Every structure is written in C-alpha cells, then in structure tokens.
Amino acid sequence: MNEKEKAKKIINILNKIYPTAPVPLKHKNTFTLLVSVLLSAQCTDVIVNNVTKDIYPKYYKPKHFVKLGRKKIEKLIKRIGIFRVKAKSIYLMSKQILAKHSGKVPKTFGELEKLPGVGHKTASVVMSQGFGYPAFAVDTHIHRLAQRWGLTDGKNVVQTEKDLKRIFPKNTWSKLHLQIIFYGREYCKARECYGLTCKICTTCYPKRKKPIITKKA
C-alpha cells in the first residue's frame, strides 16, 4: 500500500468516526482562541476550557490583558501548568498586538510567529481554526501517530508536517488535524495501541506483529 492509498483509507476511517470536527478549545473570538492555544501547551484542552470559561466573559481583547498586567493574569490562570511563563507571554503578546496590529490578531504566519510565546504550531492552529486558512498543525501526538501509520520517518514535527502536507489534499488539512487528535485520544493511545490494535493501524499494517516505538519530536 503506497502513501496515497494509505491516506485515502485514513481519511475514510476518520470521516466515518468524526464526520464533524468541532474546535476543542472554547473561545469568544480569534484573540481568545490565540490565548487558549498558548495556554494549551503541556496542558489538556479540558483544563484550559475550565479556566477560561471564567475569564473570557470579562476579558477577551488585548487591551483587557494589558490593563490587567502580568500579576493579575497569573492569578487568573494559576491552575494551568507553567502559568507564570504563559502569563508573561499573554501580556507581551497583547501589548504587541495593540502596538503593531491595532488590536487585531494578524492574519499571516510570519506576523503571528513574531508575537511573544507564539510558535509555528500555535500559528497554524489560529490560521486554521481562526481564519479558515488550510494549515496542518503538528504537535508531538500527531507526530507519533504519523510514524505509527507509516506516513513519515521524520525526526521532528517540522519534517512530519512537510510529509503530511505532501500526502494529504490541502482541502483536508484543517479538519484532518482535529480528526487525528480526536482519534489518537480515543483509539490510538500512546500507551495502549503501539501500532497494533486500532482500526487505522491494522488497516495500514495488517501483518504488523511488533509494537512501534516512535521517535520523539
């Protein structure tokens, strides 16, 4: 089975299980989506949503977070991992959006990635889920699954992203990114499937006997 055949089978399986792929991070606008994605690093979406449900009704613009200041932002997000680092990023990011972008979240990868605390993965999520631009946000979980499914032998998320964009049609990227995340959480778990038991793994590699040890991103 070549890459393109594998890609078609994967898309078919995921579309049957997840015909729709709702954005898992709750947000009020593009700016709060950006904040939530930043907060979600090394943290679950559930925890982020639980914390932000008490924040976004009142604070949802860059000027709100600049006015709050770092210490008050820390208090609001203290239940989230590395909250001090994230509070600093949110504060500085908000200041920069106000100063350089008239209070609006920039709509290009280049400008987004210049914001404090915003890397390529965060920018990809915002471009995709916030602005509807085809993007394939690859994190360590998607990197692991792509290796299990034989879609990449990349040693890092950058190479994996290139491989996935080459294999899958552009019009599937944004939905597929979410579908793969949902599928990994539910069926192809890091410490359960090992490339041997889930529907996609057994479809791609029906004769596989040994567990797959993936290269960390």
Question: Is 139 among the residues known to form the active site?
Answer: yes
Long-range contacts of 98-104 (CB under 8 A, 24+ apart): 98/62, 98/63, 98/66, 103/61, 103/62, 103/63
| CB-based contact 98:62 (threshold 8 Å) | yes
What the block records as the tokens of 74 is 């820390």
Give the span between the Cα atoms of 160 and 155, in whole angstroms. 8
Q: Encode the chain (217 residues) as per-residue pLDDT tens digits.
A: 888 899 999 999 999 999 998 999 999 999 999 999 999 988 899 999 999 999 999 999 999 999 999 999 999 999 998 999 999 999 999 999 999 999 999 999 999 999 999 999 999 999 999 999 999 989 888 999 999 999 998 888 899 999 999 999 999 999 999 999 999 999 999 889 989 999 999 999 999 998 887 777 6
Q: Could you give the CA distance from residue 85 to residue 109 in angstroms, rounded to a whole number?
A: 22
Return residue ranges of the chain for CATH 1.10.1670.10. 3-20+136-204
* This prediction's pTM: 0.90
Q: Is residue 206 a contact partner of residue 200, using CB atoms and an 8 Å limit?
A: no
The catalytically annotated residue of 121, 165, 175, 216 is 121
The single residue of 86, 139, 163, 175 carrying the catalytic annotation is 139
Sign of the alpha-carbon torsion through 8, 164, 105, 49: positive
According to CATH, the topology of domain 30-130 is: Endonuclease III; domain 1 (1.10.340)
Segments of the chain assigned to CATH 1.10.340.30: 30-130
Residues ≥6 apart with Cβ < 8 Å to 181: 24, 139, 141, 142
CATH dotted code for 3-20+136-204: 1.10.1670.10
Residue 176, pLDDT score: 95
User: Active-site residue 45, yes or no?
Assistant: no
